[in-house]
Structure 1
């Protein structure tokens, strides 16, 4: 617990120090509005499998077309993270909005060496076993507005995994996948980065056919339904989420889902892993001033297709609290830190944007 407390206090100190307002010179002429809003955030975190994590995240928001008053600002960023269990990650993330929000596009790239663990019970000594995966992932998509609030899109994803297991509990493997995506999005949110009302319904079908360079056929269906309710005269938000991830066919170890992350916080050991997941959660976002806020959240999840049969279709609750800080002056976009408890587990999560 001392390690947890140290991480939380140190992170909050960094954010609070960063959040101090500069003194205002009443005689100064207001600076003209800039097209690019740039910021660099420190990354300090702790994870039960990755241990302490350190890094930096430069980000910028901008208009692709300055005359476009309808499209949200686009977002581009880079993150570089090193962990004390000798993992590292370098990622590039982009969200593009253009042509009066008629077109939306995303581009994500990550490469790194991920040292983690998984649970096995079909051995003489059921326990957590370490594994290391050298990973490269590219994911891109393009969506077009068909009618008001409804988008249709396509996407492509490439992943390469080189995985080795502790004590050879499983044979080492090299896996690469090429996925094609069909995307349907219904979006009535009043803002894409910090909505206070509206709905986001997204359905994605990802197929990995053999004719597209995959070793075996597999499919994934990813669903989400987020709804947002304004509270306290619009100052706060109650957000709710349903998420379903359904793996069909020959799902590789690296393609499986684990309980944790945005779908249900409070699980960081990677114990509950399977082919599919269903989760429900809600979060209250309390803004006590223009730059900072607190959140409280709770949810429940279940999985199927686990190699440990006793894990399938059980209920896994999670709940916690978090701190938020507004990262950009001209756009409501938060970063922050969450701490959560799960069933025999806990997790600490650095946030770029809201959980959902």
Structure 2
């Protein structure tokens, strides 16, 4: 029998709510306040409060900062770094660090993400005497590092390496304890014509990723995945609001272990938090209207549809899974349009609450 998906902690980066904010601007070389935004480091400290059907009440804090790696670089967007520490009332905890760097006049882009924690959640089994959800606990460690280089104007290519380690215990011994270690190597291409990387109002972002898990890198099962996404942004109402549209496709090739399977939910289709519908591949379409009623706050409304294939439960394959909901946005930094917020969505026999850093896509 395949093992349950252990990637829920990665969604930590999408969970954020900020009832309050602390911001400061500092000169990075002399420590004095300046009016030139290129001389500033913007800090934002957000408390975290959320509720999830699996993790229950979640409490924590997330400090972030935006800054220029090179103060003389007027082309690169500001880089972003942050930490997060979350505790949940079901006994889970996560600590993560995330970084996005832009440098050399946006000819180079890099990322670094690391997470460790203990995830107590559930998974669905239907090939036993008592089908249903069963609890499991996983000690998780994930480290991912990537680099991209501009090939021609607006077009980038790069590579990413991701290491993951999981130690899992299962409720009622429905499966034996397991230790899983994966090493993923990704090659990616990116076409980015957005007018801003953190809050685009027009343009498009198209990305194609090939991820391989070869046995030569220490993987027990050799597998490959192709991930594709296409986001398009339209400015409306005299550039006040934004219509955003997204297609996402995730395609597993070969012998896909459960750790590499995909789940209906998250940014691809909101409204699913139980992790019930998962398989080797997923396709989804969704649209979102972003209404900005003042400079610091806004509302969003969204709807979409997804389908999966390669599920262990045959009746889940190629069915339509709709999702729709609304959300609230708050501007986290003074000098850059960068939102944090809360979404609430309903799906097929499910619902979800999503606290996020940045927009959904």
Q: Deviations over 1:117-161 (max 9, x none)?
A: 111111111111111111111111110001011101111110001
The within-5 A match list for 1:139-218 is: 139-218=144-223
Partners of 1:113 and 1:250 in 2: how far apart?
27
Which residue is 1:114 aligned to? 119
Query: Offset of 1:35 from its aligned partner?
Result: 2.0
Gaps of 5+ in 1: 1-10, 21-29
TM-score by length of 2: 0.90
Q: Is 2:279 aligned against 1:274?
A: yes
Post-superposition Cα deviations, 1:268-311, rounded to whole Å, max 9, x if no partner, equal 01111112111110100000000000000000111111111111
Q: Does 1:298 align with 2:303?
A: yes
1:253 Cα deviation (Å)? Answer: 2.1
> Which residue of structure 2 aligns with residue 57 of structure 1?
62
Could you list the per-position Cα deviations for residues 213-252 of structure 1 after superposition, in whole angstroms to 9, with x for gaps in the alignment?
A: 1112111111100000001111100000001111222322
Q: Contact conserved, 1:19 with 1:325, CA < 8 A, in 2?
A: no
Query: What stretches of structure 2 of length at least 5 have no aligned partner?
Result: 1-15, 24-32
Match of 1:35 among 33, 40, 54: 40
SS in 2 for 1:77: strand
Cα distance in 1, alignment partners of residues 337 and 64 from structure 2 = 14
Measured after TM superposition, the shift of residue 19 of structure 1 is 9.5
8 A Cα contact 1:304 1:312, kept in partner: yes
Distance 1:95 1:196 in 2: 20
**Structure 1 residue ranges, 4+ long, deviating more than 4 angstroms after superposition:** 17-20
Q: Is the 8 A contact 2:117 2:140 kept in 1?
A: yes
- Is 1:137 aligned with 2:142? yes
The equivalent position to 2:255 in structure 1, one of 250, 259, 262, is 250
TM-score, normalising length from structure 1?
0.91
Aligned counterpart in structure 2 of residue 223 of structure 1, from 224, 228, 244? 228
Q: Offset of 1:189 from its aligned partner?
A: 0.4
Once the two structures are superposed, residues 26-59 of structure 1 have per-residue CA deviations (whole angstroms, 9 ceiling, x without a partner) of xxxx953442100111111110011010111100
Matched, 1:105 2:107: no
Residue 123 (1) aligns with residue 123 (2)? no
Alpha-carbon offset, residue 18 of structure 1: 4.8
User: 1 CA distance for matches of 2:192 and 2:178?
Assistant: 40
Report if aligned partners of 1:41, 1:57 keep a CA contact under 8 Å in 2. Answer: yes
Q: Could you tell me how far apart the structure 2 residues matched to 1:214 and 1:108 are?
A: 21
Residue in structure 1 matching 2:50, options 31, 45, 49: 45
Residue in 2 aligned with 1:314? Answer: 319
CA distance in structure 2 between the aligned counterparts of 1:247 and 1:132, rounded to whole angstroms: 26
Whether 1:235 and 2:240 are equivalent positions in the alignment is: yes
> Partners in 2 of 1:302 and 1:351 — Cα distance?
24
In structure 2, how many angstroms separate the alpha carbons of the residues matched to 1:216 and 1:343?
Answer: 32
DSSP 3-state at the match of 1:167: helix
Map 1:10-29 → 2, pairs under 5 A: 15=19, 18=21
Q: CA–CA distance in 1 between the matches of 2:296 and 2:145?
A: 32
Q: How many pairs align?
A: 335
Structure possessing the higher relative contact order (Cα contacts under 8 Å, 6 or more residues apart): 2
* Inter-partner Cα distance in structure 1 for 2:75 and 2:34: 23
